Structure 1
Amino acid sequence: MRIEGIAVSVVDGCRRRAPFVVAGAILAAILLGYYVATTIAVDTDQEHLVAEDLPWRRTELALDRAFPQSKDDLTIVVDARTPLLADEAARRLAERLAARPDLFHSVRRPDALPFLRRNGLLYLSIDELRSLTERLVEAQPLIAAVVSDPSLRGLFGALNFFLEGVSRGEADLAELAPTLTAFAAAAESVAAGRPQPVDWQSLFTGRPTRPKDKRRFVMAQPVLDYGALTPGAKASAFVREAAAELGLTPANGYRVRLTGSVALSDEEFATVGQDMGVALAVTALLVALELFVALRSLRLIAAILVTLLVGLVATAAFATAAFGSLNLISVAFAVLFFGLAVDFGIQFSVRFRDEHYHYDDAAEALRRCARGIGGALVLAAITTMAGFFSFVPTAYVGVSQLGVIAGVGMAVAVGLNLTLLPALLALLRPPGERSPAGYAWMRGPDRFLARNASRVLAALVVLVVGAAALVPHLAFDFNPLNLKDRRTESMSTLLDLMNDASSTPYTAKVLTASPAEAATLAARLEKLPEVKSAVTINSFVPEDQDEKLPLIEDAAMLLAPSLSPPEVAPPPNPEEVRATIAETVERLDTTKDAAASRLAAALRKVLAAGPAALDRLSGILVGGASREIAALGEALQAGPVGLADLPEELKRDWVSADGRAVVRIEPQQDARDNAALVRFVAAVQSVAPEASGLPVSIQEMGRTVVGAFRTAGLLAFAVIVVLLGLILRRAADVLLVLIPVLIGGLFAMATCVLIDLPLTFANIIVLPLLLGIGVAYGVYYVMNWRAGVREPLQSSMTRAVLFSALTTGTSFGSLALSDHPGTAGMGVLLVVSLGYTVVAAMVFLPAALAWLETRRRRRAQAPDRV
């Protein structure tokens, strides 16, 4: 028995037993829905999207196992007005986070180790260190005054002493300009009621403070819930809550931002989820309107929606039973199911409307509908299933799982559209049709295509040649960071950090057997022009210590009396402080200098504001100076540093527990440029093939994805061709069926080149849907032509195809309005490709069918040749 005959038997049998079929389907949907709701889980771990047995994944996992503290990081960036305030803020925040082991596995401050505070001067160049020590010696009088009398009396007393030297011509006021300006700004802020700290580090060292100098990092490893859409949401929320409670807010001069792999992933999913909610509401309304225009019957619409819902639940139940949890790609099975299953429902229902117009008896209309469309639906479903199942053997686990679920979903969809849908129509009894379901006004286009088939196909050839010339220029953007919304905090922070080469995430890593081997490899890597630096644990042993230590020791010896005075003056009383500042104001007025006059005016305001203002001024001037001097005293205690002297807190990020060592390689060029990243990775792998890290994983992931889609595409194409050949038994018909998908895909890729839309990890998911829809549309037109339909654009099938495309385009096209670049790109590509597929199915395919029909007729009419 042919497929059409089987379809008629199934549809008629379900019609006659409609109450039992519908009741059984609804009961099964309820039970399966409960099973799904109580069992299904979503695995949001992106590392599970790719097979772990790939060489680059094995290398990446080995590095994660060697240094587990570097995995799943939440990087907290703390900015303040001065380096000391940033350091203090980061310390307080880290302590608050460390007190919550239920939210954080670990909390570290890699830039605040006591070892680095004590030996930090050794990491300066010799010229930088010499300049710094000279500047510190020049600041000795100010340092001595603050240490021996840590009060406004001592600070302004030292200033008065210097100003007296200026009045005698023994000192140059210009040398004091930065100090006068900083003091004036501080005093003005106190007088205005908004105290601003003084950057004492800049004053003591004579070097302007860079933004990165006023930035500190807290590295946290949060407890993640991979069953949630945003696994690190609880930890991130607590960080923000803690920062607010500690007063680390913009109003107080602080900025606390979150980035790192956890924050980037969480904010991406949150953004997509918000966009999806809005898109879903708009889409549901538009799709409902389109279905009503297509079917003109609420009963038909209800039947299709119930069939869709039951099929979706059944497919979800299979996915739950087969895999337990869905990954971030396979969860899209619901989207694919809707896009393709609604096509089956529309095709069946529109054909039923057309048959119901000709036959008042609904039973007869259903039988004729099954005979007319059943075979095409089954063939479309089979070929679409073959396309999805072709993704199963690929290493891209996310798409492989999606292929299995979507393939089974197609079987479920076509099965329900030939069983449950006719049963629902039998129960709901939609009224008879008053007019044909087709488009009578398409008679003109039908005749035009038939009469001008050769010209239409010639134009198609020209377009195909032009499109084919563009396709080689199609780019694949393999960098997933380019798919993220740059306005989110995590991404904008990451971009900010990328401006500093020392904090770029685009670093390659190589795991070696020992620190000695790491040092040897680093030396080889640093000879490459694409490499800026190769850092190992050995890099933390300062160079030129024989020259640097004497400079530090000399400075420490000269500053020792100032840092450790024999006695410290007792705290002054308010009158002494006011008298000292009044003297300062008087001396400043005599200089006739702009900076001095500014400070004098500000100090008058502070004096007029009363004792509380003086206390606040003391806090930001004397308090800040005292903390900076204490840090200076610790830095001047530096001693010889060897590999054995490095602390364990530092070593564990560079040497694993079993003694293996990592090399961290920074690119010479900006690796945000994909071409530069490719050159960097190629250069590093030429020396160290086992390299991993973000640049390597980005590129290898791109190769894996492209390879998976290439393999699946070729396999799907081959399987579909074989299946079509076995069923249609005509090579020409097989080629005709493939016209929409081939032309739609070719023109879509050419358009991507023209509008500068590269393929990405996100929008490449559109290709399986395009494959299914394109083949289905081709099957519908070819099967109808074989059934004798010679004016396809006027038939109910074209109405079904058009509205199927509209509902699918509306469903996914709304994604183009998303703020998320990856989601928006997916929507754009789908709308473009779907549009071309529909044009190919409704214009070029009928033209090709008419052209072949004309050739066959002419051959049949030609006289036999002897």
Structure 2
Amino acid sequence: MRDFVARAVDFCRRRATYIVILAAIVTGLSVWYASNRLGIDTDTGRLLGEDLPWRKQEMALDKAFPANVDNLAIVIDGATPELADIAAQTIADKLTARTDLFRYTRRPDGGAFFDQQGLLLLPKEEVQQVADRLIQAQPLLGSLAADPSLRGLLRTLNLALEGKQRGLTDGSELQQPLAALADVADDTLKNPQPKPLGWSTLLTGRGDSKSDRQRFVLTQPVLDYSSLQPAEKARDFIHAIGAELPHVRVRITGAIAMSDEELETVSEGMGLSSGLSFAGVMVLLLIALRSWKMIVSILSTLIVGLLLTAAFAAATVKSLNMISVAFGVLFVGIAVDFSIQFAIAYRDTRHREPDPKLAMKETGRRMARPLVLAAATIAIGFLSFLPTDYRGVRELGLIAGAGMVIALILNLTLLPALMWRTRPHGAGARVGWSSWSVADRFLMQNRRAILIGTGVLALIAAALLPRLAFDFDPLHLRDPKTESVSTVLDLMADPNTTPYTLDLLKPSLDAAREAVDRIEKIPEVKHALWLGVFVADDQDDKLVLIEDLRNLLGPTLSPAKVLPAPSEDELRAALRTTVERLRAAGGPVETRLAGALEKLAGSDSARVAAFRDAVTAGLPRTLQQVRALLQAKKVSLETLPDDLKQSWIAADGRARVEIYPSIDAQDPKALQRFVLAVRAVEPTISGSAVTIRESANTIIGAFALAGVLSTIAIAIVLMIALRRASDVLRVMGPLLLAGLFTLATCAATGLELDFANIIALPLLLGIGVAFDIYFVVAWRAGRWPPLATATTRAVVFSASTTAVAFACLLLSSHPGTVGMGRLLLLELVWVLAVTLIVVPALLGPAPAVSEHQ
């Protein structure tokens, strides 16, 4: 192998011009091919294999209810319940009209059905309470129905105040509406856009909580997975609508929205971090190689290799997923090590061999075994992911594994050709750090103590491993400041709106009803929803109350004549009249309101209009809702509206059940208990809670399987190449030790493994096995003691350049990227420490060169 590589390197040196031209042609073709064939697939649902049992259940549910897949959840928070209703309906109507952007839109908590049946769906006691409040407000409702304006409200208050003056009432029923109106009046005097009057609360005593003022719209956008942000156009359209709606806040969340915003977060600051990374790497390369010509040759080789690997990806996987897109970072991080090793070895050889032709050939001979072995073992490590169920990493393994082969070939062909064409100068002095010879002597003299100390540390590290935690909640990897994530966290504070639920698909409604009865007995379950929850209990008793209310209020709410809107002068006159009535009535609330209304009556037109709008903004909607509630009718499963049924009954009659936890779903252990408890009763559950748990199990299993396979395969390759079991252990032992120390440090410091930083483990394998191979091969060749040699210089600078790139990840605003950077740096520190301290002590004095040659 050494002779073959030496001849190949010498051939490329002699045909350097043709090699460079050929590389340029192949690179150009690769760019054309990759740019036309390689796509981006941002669908995170495709990262895991579709033949997993829980994935099959998930896909079966998606197929049965296609309208529930890939939805954007629009959360509307209104200043009042009626304004939230108006905004939700406005958004739903506009989205329904844009069929080019949205396939399907619905309001899960609103619409005509809920307007009419909302009162019927309340408990009987609450129905009675609302009816009593509405009966009490009958005079106000009648006046407002005939004159739905600020003038109508003030006239009603004047009549009530007059009744109090005459002793017909004690005026206690006026305190709440007067106080509410005073709040709006005071706010108007301070703000150009005052908070509107809450009519629902005023009339029914309900609607003052956050959940009462919150509405939802679900929509299925038209997604473009060839774009980095598939739902960007749909989200922009929704935000534009929300910006036009006063007194409401419109937020968007859902898996699609979070994926879109995650890409924005990851790319934020990428230019700065990339620039700093490039500058740092350039400085380190210049210090290590002391030659701009070598740096240009190395960077050119890296770029060519990266483009060829991209072309390979286009020919095999066709599109990059959210995991495999990281192949570029892995390629550069590892391939640059090959280049540094070759370049420093050339400089070291030139120090001893003045003829550059012979030096180049000798460098090929010298680096053949370590580079081939390093590339082979790293490629095997990546390719070990191919048998796993984690499609995201499986494709990354294929691309990165092929990339290592490409990098090896280029570093033994193109790099020598480029170096020969640029003719970098030779080494003026011996390459290496002579000052490190003191450390070499220390390591050789204290081998036993170092190995014993390492063994003790290994035992301590192993004892810490049970404390190692895996955070399987992907939400923790996202930036909590983004709209989609902050909205989800807000919703999770309410058990009724948490997205961490379970779904169950049953063959019929009867089966769904029976399942709900069983499931709701589970302590970890708060409640289970099915279509039957929209059919109210005690309908006959409630309808009697509603019918009495309709008979009493119906005529009041249907006046023969409705007055037109008042003019500004009429409003000012009504305000002054009310001020007089309030002052005559006395009382602290009346006095406060009188003072505010008096100032408004004398203020400018804009202020009067702002007060008018704040008072009447939700009035038409409130009157409409009261009229609709009085039309409630008895319903059954058969008479429920079709658009509601479609969310709960599939086309083939199968029924969906949605299960909510009674525990804190953000607690991983509690979420696991929730899933296991329900699964014990219903084994075929799916849903976001199952996806989170099973994804973690699948990913952990994939890495465990890949770790076992790669360890075995690498050991076999090393055994074939090195032909001594002891040398194989000398390579593999320190690698496993570095991994042990890394995981133990994570356990001791509380750094959890997660979906993002676990991808760093293959890089540990690649860098660690390469460094160990370099040292073992140098030891076998007699280039020892190690620390003062060119090998150590190359390893240190290779690790330093990689560390600079990893450190720049810490500048990201994306928590997952920052966590990956932390783990990568931690791994690198332990790999370097083990390589420079434990490996020399483990190897000991170099054997006779002939022993292993």
TM-score normalised per structure 1: 0.95
Cα deviation code 1:643-665 (max 9, x no counterpart): 11210010000001111110100
SS in 2 for 1:643: coil
Paired letter, 1:764: I
Tell me, in whole angstroms, the C-alpha distance in 2 between the residues paired with 1:267 and 1:569: 50
Cα deviation code 1:736-779 (max 9, x no counterpart): 11133212111110111122111111111111111111111111
Q: What residue in structure 2 maps to residue 202 of structure 1? A: 201
CA contact (8 A) 1:328 1:398 kept: yes
Tell me, in whole angstroms, the C-alpha distance in 1 between the residues paired with 2:139 and 2:472: 58
Paired letter, 2:238: V
SS in 1 for 2:229: coil
The more displaced of 770-779 and 132-141 is: 132-141
Tell me, in whole angstroms, the C-alpha distance in 1 between the residues paired with 2:564 and 2:764: 83
CA contact (8 A) 2:8 2:413 kept: yes
Q: Does 1:261 align with 2:259?
A: no
Tell me, in whole angstroms, the C-alpha distance in 2 between the residues paired with 1:759 and 1:263: 25
Paired letter, 1:533: H
SS in 2 for 1:692: coil
Q: What aligned pairs does 1:493-642 form with structure 2 within 5 A after superposition? A: 493-565=487-559, 578=572, 580-609=574-603, 617-622=611-616, 624-642=618-636
Aligned-pair CA distance for 1:30: 1.4
CA contact (8 A) 2:530 2:658 kept: yes
Paired letter, 1:762: A
Q: Does 1:744 align with 2:754?
A: no
SS in 2 for 1:501: coil
Aligned-pair CA distance for 1:38: 2.1
> What is the aligned counterpart of 2:675 among 676, 681, 698?
681
Paired letter, 1:372: R
Tell me, in whole angstroms, the C-alpha distance in 2 between the residues paired with 1:54 and 1:336: 28
Q: Does 1:821 align with 2:819?
A: no
> What is the aligned counterpart of 1:461 among 445, 455, 458?
455
> What is the aligned counterpart of 1:92 among 79, 90, 93?
90
Q: What residue in structure 2 maps to residue 416 of structure 1? A: 410
Q: What residue in structure 1 maps to residue 712 of structure 2? A: 718
Tell me, in whole angstroms, the C-alpha distance in 1 between the residues paired with 2:613 and 2:436: 85
CA gap 1:21/1:208 in 2 versus in 1, 3 angstroms? closer
Q: What residue in structure 1 maps to residue 791 of structure 2? A: 797
Q: What residue in structure 1 maps to residue 216 of structure 2? A: 217
Tell me, in whole angstroms, the C-alpha distance in 1 between the residues paired with 2:650 and 2:304: 53
Tell me, in whole angstroms, the C-alpha distance in 1 between the residues paired with 2:106 and 2:663: 30
Q: What residue in structure 1 maps to residue 359 of structure 2? A: 365
Paired letter, 1:223: V
CA contact (8 A) 1:739 1:841 kept: no
> What is the aligned counterpart of 1:297 among 291, 300, 303?
291
Q: What residue in structure 2 maps to residue 860 of structure 1? A: none
Q: Does 1:788 align with 2:786?
A: no
> What is the aligned counterpart of 1:119 among 117, 120, 126?
117
SS in 2 for 1:44: coil
CA gap 1:818/1:354 in 2 versus in 1, 3 angstroms? same
Tell me, in whole angstroms, the C-alpha distance in 1 between the residues paired with 2:44 and 2:565: 60
CA contact (8 A) 2:502 2:659 kept: yes
The more displaced of 545-554 and 396-405 is: 545-554
Tell me, in whole angstroms, the C-alpha distance in 2 between the residues paired with 1:224 and 1:573: 49
Q: What residue in structure 2 maps to residue 436 of structure 1? A: 430
CA contact (8 A) 1:105 1:221 kept: yes
Paired letter, 2:708: L
Tell me, in whole angstroms, the C-alpha distance in 2 between the residues paired with 1:351 and 1:570: 93
CA gap 1:9/1:129 in 2 versus in 1, 3 angstroms? same
Cα deviation code 1:481-514 (max 9, x no counterpart): 1111000011011111112222211110011111
Cα deviation code 1:246-278 (max 9, x no counterpart): x22xxx422111111111110001111224333
Q: Does 1:843 align with 2:842?
A: no
Q: What aligned pairs does 1:228-243 form with structure 2 within 5 A after superposition? A: 228-243=227-242
Q: What residue in structure 2 maps to residue 184 of structure 1? A: 182
Paired letter, 1:486: P
Aligned-pair CA distance for 1:526: 0.6
Aligned-pair CA distance for 1:152: 4.1
Q: What residue in structure 2 maps to residue 757 of structure 1? A: 751
The more displaced of 96-105 and 763-772 is: 96-105
CA contact (8 A) 1:300 1:430 kept: yes
Q: What residue in structure 1 maps to residue 308 of structure 2? A: 314
The more displaced of 279-288 and 571-580 is: 571-580
CA contact (8 A) 1:454 1:851 kept: no
Q: Does 1:406 align with 2:405?
A: no
Q: Does 1:810 align with 2:809?
A: no
Tell me, in whole angstroms, the C-alpha distance in 1 between the residues paired with 2:271 and 2:124: 59
Cα deviation code 1:277-309 (max 9, x no counterpart): 332111111111111111000111111111111
CA gap 1:19/1:154 in 2 versus in 1, 3 angstroms? closer
Paired letter, 2:227: A
The more displaced of 822-831 and 208-217 is: 208-217
Aligned-pair CA distance for 1:170: 3.8
Q: What residue in structure 2 maps to residue 864 of structure 1? A: none
Aligned-pair CA distance for 1:115: 1.0
Q: What residue in structure 2 maps to residue 863 of structure 1? A: none
Cα deviation code 1:515-564 (max 9, x no counterpart): 11111111111111011111111111111213222222222222234223
Tell me, in whole angstroms, the C-alpha distance in 1 between the residues paired with 2:563 and 2:234: 48
Tell me, in whole angstroms, the C-alpha distance in 2 between the residues paired with 1:416 and 1:568: 85
The more displaced of 571-580 and 364-373 is: 571-580
CA gap 1:686/1:777 in 2 versus in 1, 3 angstroms? same
Paired letter, 1:393: P
Tell me, in whole angstroms, the C-alpha distance in 1 between the residues paired with 2:87 and 2:207: 21
5+ long unaligned stretches in structure 1 = 858-866
Aligned-pair CA distance for 1:617: 4.2
Q: What residue in structure 1 maps to residue 760 of structure 2? A: 766
Q: What residue in structure 2 maps to residue 142 of structure 1? A: 140
Q: What residue in structure 2 maps to residue 52 of structure 1? A: 50
CA gap 1:152/1:405 in 2 versus in 1, 3 angstroms? closer
Q: What residue in structure 1 maps to residue 374 of structure 2? A: 380
Paired letter, 1:225: D
Q: What residue in structure 1 maps to residue 481 of structure 2? A: 487
Aligned-pair CA distance for 1:173: 3.3
Aligned-pair CA distance for 1:202: 0.4
Give the root-mean-square deviation of aligned CA atoms.
Answer: 2.0
> What is the aligned counterpart of 2:65 among 64, 67, 72?
67
SS in 1 for 2:503: strand
CA contact (8 A) 2:785 2:845 kept: no
CA gap 1:21/1:599 in 2 versus in 1, 3 angstroms? same
Aligned-pair CA distance for 1:621: 3.2
5+ long unaligned stretches in structure 2 = none
Paired letter, 1:505: P
Paired letter, 2:280: L
CA gap 1:55/1:275 in 2 versus in 1, 3 angstroms? farther
Tell me, in whole angstroms, the C-alpha distance in 1 between the residues paired with 2:120 and 2:386: 57
SS in 1 for 2:632: coil
SS in 2 for 1:794: coil
Q: What residue in structure 2 maps to residue 646 of structure 1? A: 640
Q: Does 1:691 align with 2:685?
A: yes
Aligned-pair CA distance for 1:179: 0.7
CA gap 1:671/1:151 in 2 versus in 1, 3 angstroms? closer
Q: What residue in structure 1 maps to residue 225 of structure 2? A: 226
CA gap 1:749/1:574 in 2 versus in 1, 3 angstroms? closer
Cα deviation code 1:684-724 (max 9, x no counterpart): 11111110000001111111101111111000001111111
Tell me, in whole angstroms, the C-alpha distance in 2 between the residues paired with 1:21 and 1:152: 86
Tell me, in whole angstroms, the C-alpha distance in 1 between the residues paired with 2:40 and 2:606: 58
Aligned-pair CA distance for 1:575: 6.8
Aligned-pair CA distance for 1:584: 2.3
Paired letter, 2:407: A
Aligned-pair CA distance for 1:612: 6.7
The more displaced of 79-88 and 817-826 is: 79-88
